[in-house]
A and B are shown apart, each in its own frame.
Chain A
């Protein structure tokens, strides 16, 4: 089945530093990947849609200059949390869908637990 790999699975960083999270579709191509954030006991919240070769589309209230998204190839999207603060501590999850298959389901990475101290 389709596999999405997310790395790292957890990271601890100091306030003010930047953290990069990678999302790879291992056995399929994905022109579009999605980034979600999840706080404890809450549902997933869509942050942005990552489009290969073009700018990401951010949801309302998500700062594009703080959460930098790069989708450089059909199998890789990265999310960089810049100048991280403790309130950015959260569970970040990426997902991808097969290129050209509109009704195929989303496949998710296993998430990255970010802790900012």
Chain B
């Protein structure tokens, strides 16, 4: 699976949009981009994923550049409960048994 690069930490003011970048310059054509987050002392939570089109769900939006070498996770109105470590992962999504390797992620702090 392709490696990803994320900033180690970010701050965001409560109520503002949080934009979390991820670089995946070696991504292959059949690799998806997934985002998860982990709130302290809990298991990770799936947020969103996409292949090449932008995606939106009730939690967030995912913007993937046209060349697919980077993406941005957008939390439109960050709340204190969004304080967590956010992980960007790319993987080939052909089988249900291929493993997911986590990098260090971005620690997002939402500030009142």
Contact = CB atoms under 8 A, between A and B. Distances in A.
Nearest to A1: B46
B102 to A, nearest CB: 4
A28 to B, nearest CB: 11
B21 interface: no
B55 to A, nearest CB: 12
Interface string A88-104: 00010101011111111
B81 interface: no
A106 interface: yes
A51 interface: yes
Interface of B is mostly: loop
Contacts of A36: 102
A98 B96 contact: yes
Interface in A100-117: 100-111, 113
A103 B42 contact: no
B100 A106 contact: yes
Interface stretch (A41-49, A61-69, A76-84): A41-49
B43 A34 contact: no
A75 interface: no
Contact of A93 (B32, B44, B87, B99): B44
- A-B pairs, 5 with minimum CB distance: A103-B93, A108-B43, A32-B97, A105-B46, A44-B102
Interface of B: 32, 34, 36, 38, 41-46, 49, 85, 87, 93-105
15 contacts: A31-B97, A43-B87, A44-B44, A44-B102, A45-B102, A46-B100, A46-B101, A46-B102, A93-B44, A100-B96, A105-B49, A108-B43, A111-B41, A111-B42, A111-B43
